[in-house]
A and B are shown apart, each in its own frame.
Chain A
Amino acid sequence: MSLKGWLRAARSTGRLATGFIDRQRQDAELDEELDFHIAQATERNARRGMSPDEARRAALATLGGRTHWIEQTRDEQRSRPLEDFARDVRYGASTLRRSPGFAVSAVLTIALAIAATATVFSFVNTVYLRPLSVPEGHRLVRVYGADRPELDVQLGFPAYQALRARARSFDLIAAHYSTAPLYLTSRNEASEVLGAVVSADYFPMLGVRPLLGRFFGRDEDAVPDRDAVAVISYGLWQSRFGGDQGVIGERVTINTREFTVIGVAPQWFEGVTSGWINELWIPAMMLHAGYRWCDALQRTCPITSVMARLAPGASLGSARAELSGLRQTVLDATDPADSIHTIAVTAAIGVPMSQQRDYARLSTLLAAIAVVLMAVACANLSGLLLARGFARHRELALRCSLGASRWRLARQLLAESGIIGVLGSAIGVVISFWTSRALVDFFAADNEGYIHRLVVSLDWRVTAFCAAITIVTVLLFGLMPAMRVARVDPAEALKSGSGSPARSRVRSVLVAGQMMLSLSLLVAAGLLTRSFARVMASGSLDSPHLAQLRLRPRLVGYTPDRAKEYLARAIESIRRVPGVVDAVPVRGSIVRQATETVPVSLPGEPAGNSRNRPGVDYFDIGPRYFATLGVSVLAGREFSTRDTPESPPVAMVNEAMAQRLWSSINVVGRTITLGGKPFQIVGVVGNYRTHRSCESPPATAYVAFWQNSFEPQIDARVAIRVQGDPAKLFTPIRRALEAVDVAVPVTEMITMDAQRRSTYTEVRLGGAVLSVGAALALFLSAVGLYGVVSFVVARRAKEVGIRLAVGARPVEVVGLFVRQGLRPIWVGAALGLASSIALAPLLARWLFGIAPVDVPTIAGALVTVIVVAVIATVVPASRAARADPAIVFRTD
């Protein structure tokens, strides 16, 4: 725009503003001018011999109404866009008030679509877009090895030191290990908390100030193992120390080492890993206490991640450029086993990279559902507006012929759509406030019982996104009728009085499309829901009465002998808790797939035979394990207390393994070689589905826990069967275990149902969201169909009247409309069927024990759609049959 243009724009903006301010003064002046005029006219009339009253009346008469005059003059005088806008909005609001049915359905349609979209976007925002909620969070970056697309490889501590020494693009740089399970004992209470091991610059880099006490100093970043100091979260301070100010300086035990509490973090601070809330921080120099599997200060044990704050003036680009120069120096400090070649610097937004990939599939599914819902809602809205356009055709034509400008009419229609859009999206955003929380609550606990809290918030990104969606929707569906006004031919419209058949064809197409999408959603929802139900019902696990927990003497450095003694006493103490039926140790998870496999061979078999055979999954299980789980033993016996390290090694196999090796389940008494050691098979257990790949249960061998068949047992999970609700026994069980040995960490206490549910979170979540989505889509489609049939019925009222008058039976008339109304449904259903069969393979990942093309699911969905469609058709159609011919003829 030229300078002149800018000046003109600025001036008119100014006029616009002063237009409002000056309004009162101008009105007063108009009044005064008018008064003067009337006085003069009255005077002249009087001079011509009229009586004073007469003179004034005549003067007023020539003006033709004071209000009208003022309005007209004002119209000419003022700069008007804002005023016009306000008037259009007022007009739109009042027309909407006059047709509440239309207004409510349109607003609700938009609200539902926006709620769905906003919910999904809030989730996407949390997972992918939002910076950490710390001061200037958008200046924070993550630095990591980017060679493996599925993983962000941690650089480790020495690489962090190299970066800190050389990189100038960063203000502050910190190493952190934010998923450290720390076992905290304080004030005679012991529990595992999610801790973080962080370098001294961590807190200053994030811009966090202590609520109480202090954070780590640089001197505490110098000497390994010297400064055993800890910072606790506000939550921990409240729950474990009762908010006691005297906590500073208190001695606590973390992973068997003594630490001194030096500070409390502010309430809002949750660490740097979205979804993982840190409650305890210790300095990086205490990594040996925080991580036990290797020496995390060495480059061969890269546990710590690197985070940094961009220096003033530095950008992501300049940091990348600098780091590519420092590449070799940094790489020399990383673990050679990781063979990192690329160092990535990315903004620290969303959840950590590796988890972003975990969420990708689910996000895609959610986005697809939102898009489908949006499409259904838009189709519905189009239908509503088309119907309304017909109803208002005459009104618009009349106003047009009375001289209203088309632009003005179009603007008013657009204002009406704008009101619907703004109201609907406001309601939708408010709804999404709850629905997005409900969505992330699905992730609240993982299958080991750890709490995750993804925080969704209505930040500017979500707001802007919703505003953009709303504007697009309003423009799309407001412009269409507004543009049609431009083509209104008053004479034609006033004459014909009925809508064109072409328009009802458009609506039929829209309804067919909606039905197609609804059916596809329904089928998908049915598949996932049934899949989840199958998973939960599968196998013979008696999961409502099962729980598990994990005893971790390894974490506190117990020797195998001491651990064995501890485990035996701990399990015995659990069994003695009232309500507990049995407790049995197991190595590895009960629900999840075995983490280890072992090579298997048969005695006397040539070595070449077994070499290519895949290893089998194996578990170490205690006595009465299957009785505890409620799984039936098909042949032979379970392990018992008589199976000890001194007795002959025994094994059990599942049906799948027996079938695979011997093609028979009569294998009790045979010998099998597992990992090079011979075992005698004492029992065969049925296949039971507990893990993700439940299409065919993997061949699995079980060995006796207390025989220490492959390595000495130190840690153990314990499967617990109870009477009643297992969750109610958690506290007594914990007390009993604390009485045995308070120093040993007891973790991952979780009911089997909760564990199974959280293992299949994606399936459950997908099923739930799809079900809600399908119900909404079906509802909207039914409303659309109802509208179309009502419209057709109204349009053909005269014809119906004639038919009834000449003796057609009402049933025939209804049948006529139902047949016509259902025509788009057949088309929609056929297309929906085709599309859901075509798209089903995309869901295959989430389908357990159910085929992608599942006839009962499809049939169920089809029946649901047809029943709903018939109802939506019959109700308005039967109204036609009740019509009184006499009245019908009179109305037109």
Chain B
Amino acid sequence: MAGELIQGTLDMLVLKSLQVEPMHGWGITERIEQWSGGVLQINQGSLYPALHRLTRDGLITSSWRVTENSRRARYYALTAAGRRALSNEQTSWERLSEAVNLIMRMTPG
């Protein structure tokens, strides 16, 4: 179970990773790995479908730019709708994880 994402959280993490600045797919993987202290490994096989799904839903946009190593890459950026979605997700995630924590900390008896 370790390192695997709870279903449905990938979209939220992708949005979160784009909150600071636009980034390409690889960068998103690295950023999430780094921020999670190496616990979360993004499965690339599901990252790109997620990116395109979010694009289609209008939460992020993409454009081709040149990286600092002067290679061409597709950069993804949050849209206004994406920012709104992220803050909603964040709220509900906090509520959910709080609830789960409450349960898990219960001591039987």
Contacts and interface: CB of A to CB of B under 8 A. Distances in A.
Nearest to A70: B48
Contacts of B71: 36, 39
Contacts, number: 56
B45 A76 contact: no
Contact of A36 (B26, B43, B46): B26
B49 A75 contact: yes
A34 B72 CA distance: 12
A884 interface: no
Interface stretch (A61-69, A494-502, A838-846): A61-69
Interface stretch (B50-58, B81-89, B90-98, B101-109): B50-58
B25 interface: yes
Contact of A29 (B43, B45, B53, B74): B74
A62 B44 contact: yes
B52 A77 contact: yes
B31 interface: no
B85 to A, nearest CB: 17
Nearest to B46: A72
Contacts of A34: 48
A73 B48 contact: yes
B73 interface: yes
B24 interface: yes
Interface size for chain B: under 10, 10 to 19, 20 to 34, or 35 or more residues? 20 to 34
A33 B43 contact: no
B72 A73 contact: no
Most buried by B among A37, A41, A64: A37
B3 to A, nearest CB: 12
Interface in A30-50: 30, 32-34, 36-37, 39-41, 44
A62 B25 contact: no
B45 A63 contact: yes
Main SS of the interface on chain B? Answer: helix
Contact of B45 (A30, A40, A69, A75): A69
Nearest to A69: B45
B72 A69 contact: no
Contacts of A37: 25-26, 44, 48
Nearest to B45: A64
B7 to A, nearest CB: 14
Contact of B44 (A32, A63, A76): A63
Interface in A71-106: 72-73, 75-77
Interface residues of A, number: 22
A712 to B, nearest CB: 97
Contacts of B48: 30, 33-34, 37, 69, 72-73
A702 B74 CA distance: 106
Contact of B24 (A30, A36, A44): A36
Nearest to B67: A36
B98 to A, nearest CB: 31
Interface string A480-500: 000000000000000000000
Nearest to B55: A77
Given A32-B72, A62-B44, A63-B44, A76 B49 contact: yes
Given A39-B71, A77-B55, A72 B45 contact: yes
Given A41-B26, A76-B56, A77-B56, A36 B72 contact: yes
Nearest to A37: B26
A608 to B, nearest CB: 102
A32 B65 CA distance: 12
A40 B47 CA distance: 15
A339 to B, nearest CB: 77
B45 A33 contact: no
A37 B28 CA distance: 11
B49 A40 contact: no
A655 to B, nearest CB: 93
Interface string B12-37: 00000000000011100010000000
A64 B49 contact: no
Contacts of B55: 77
Nearest to B71: A36
Contacts of B44: 37, 41, 62-64, 69
Contacts of A69: 44-45, 48
B8 to A, nearest CB: 15
A8 to B, nearest CB: 13
A72 B25 contact: no
Nearest to A79: B56
B44 to A, nearest CB: 5
A75 B24 CA distance: 20
A37 B71 CA distance: 11
B26 A40 contact: yes
Contacts of A44: 30
Contacts of A68: 45
Contacts of A41: 26, 44
Contacts of B53: 76
- Leading 5 A-B pairs by shortest Cβ distance: A40-B26, A77-B52, A64-B45, A76-B52, A76-B53
Interface of A: 29-30, 32-34, 36-37, 39-41, 44, 62-65, 68-69, 72-73, 75-77
15 contacts: A33-B24, A36-B25, A36-B72, A37-B25, A37-B26, A40-B26, A62-B43, A62-B44, A63-B44, A63-B45, A64-B43, A64-B44, A65-B45, A68-B45, A73-B48
Given A32-B72, A36-B73, A77-B55, 10 more contacts: A29-B74, A33-B24, A33-B48, A36-B24, A37-B44, A41-B44, A62-B44, A68-B45, A69-B44, A76-B52
